[in-house]
Amino acid sequence: MDRLTLQAAAHAAFDRLAAAGLPGATLVASDPTATLELALGSVDRAASAPMALPAPMRFASVSKLVIAYVALSLAEDGALDLDAPLQGPQGALPVTLAQCAAHRTGFRDALEDPAFRARAAAADGRIAWREAMEAGLALGRVALAPGERRYANTNALLIAAACERAAGAAFDALAQRRVFAPIGVPLMTALPDSAPKGYRHARAPGALEYGDTLVDASTHIPGWAGPAGGYAGDVRALMRLGTRLAQGDGLSAPARARLHGFEHGGARTWGFLLQRDGAVVGHDGDVPGYAARYGWRPRDGLRVAVLANLSNLVDGTNPAAALADTLFAAQ
């Protein structure tokens, strides 16, 4: 790794993103030869304090990799059949967990329902993820063309619910035992008061829809996202977590093959809840207030983890993903 080149690229990219409203970000970039850690900007728009590496922020949809790992490990144990018809809250569904993991079901996201979205905003996110799953199912399915994907939290939440039924335990308990504890990363779902303030370009007055009004979304609790978007921690924890989950460390060779079973080409393809963007494997995402990205490039071992306290630019761009993409392009 050329640390000076990456550091210069990170600072230049952050300056561009800061001009578009990003207060701060933390990042870790690592390959087999070196590691770069940076805290950029500030913890709030008032620039009252500089950003720091231990600052906890939300992992957003990078959390979905936790669901993937738990499901694959339960399948290894024989407790879960990834290819059997899925049991939903109201009975059998005409899809499998494998189809959910590849976003090939056509299920819609609960936040596509204006009534649910308004309820989630009014409750400041304090809605159980199972409600979001059921609300997504109630919207029905969209017919997909062969090879088409439709990304929705509903898919990941259905897998989490199946894990709970198979193991007879709450999903967070499964995640703690199978993912977080083995690598010494704390399972965190609530941010402390000392966490950086989180912002969103939203459609006023709510914080759930993208828009051009900058709002403080620090107090929003994405309970509707649950394990599909609700885990949190600092960027070093994200790096350790992402590395284990994206590489499938601790899983058997068949389970890792399933994790990395990207089905077709294109700019973005899917394994088992795992994204591949060109040569980079991982996941990104945002929730009101925060954005995250973890990526791993197998050909040279470069890994990048980024957290940001702005969920989206006015044009919808994820600032954590934009910063990570700059680093991959620079190396």
Q: Convert the pLDDT of each residue in 46-79 to its tens digit.
A: 988 999 999 999 999 999 999 999 999 999 999 9
pLDDT at position 93: 87
Higher-scoring residue by pLDDT: 317, 124:
317
pLDDT at 50: 98
The share of the chain scoring above pLDDT 70, in percent, equals 98
pLDDT of residue 129: 96
Half-sphere exposure at residue 74, Cβ-oriented, CA atoms within 13 angstroms: 26
Asked if 288 and 311 touch (Cβ cutoff 8 Å), the reply is: yes
The pLDDT assigned to 184 comes to 97
Rounded CA gap, 158 and 228, in Å? 10
Question: Helix or strand or coil: residue 68?
Answer: helix
Tokens of 193: 């008061």
pLDDT band with cut points at 50, 70 and 90 for residue 88: confident
Residue among 220, 188, 194 at smallest CA distance from 44: 194
Residue 33 has pLDDT above 90, yes or no: yes
pLDDT at 265: 64
Q: What is the largest CA-CA distance in the chain?
A: 56
- Short-list 105, 135, 318, 103, CA closest to 223: 135
Beta carbons within 8 Å of 252's beta carbon, 6+ residues apart: 76
126-178 pLDDT, tens per residue? Answer: 789 999 999 999 999 999 988 889 999 999 999 999 999 999 999 999 999 99
Is the per-residue pLDDT at 180 higher than 90?
Answer: yes
Say what the pLDDT of residue 256 is: 97
Note the pLDDT of residue 229.
97
Q: Residue 263: pLDDT band by 50, 70, 90 thresholds? A: confident
Residue 91 has pLDDT above 90, yes or no: no
Average pLDDT over residues 273-291: 96
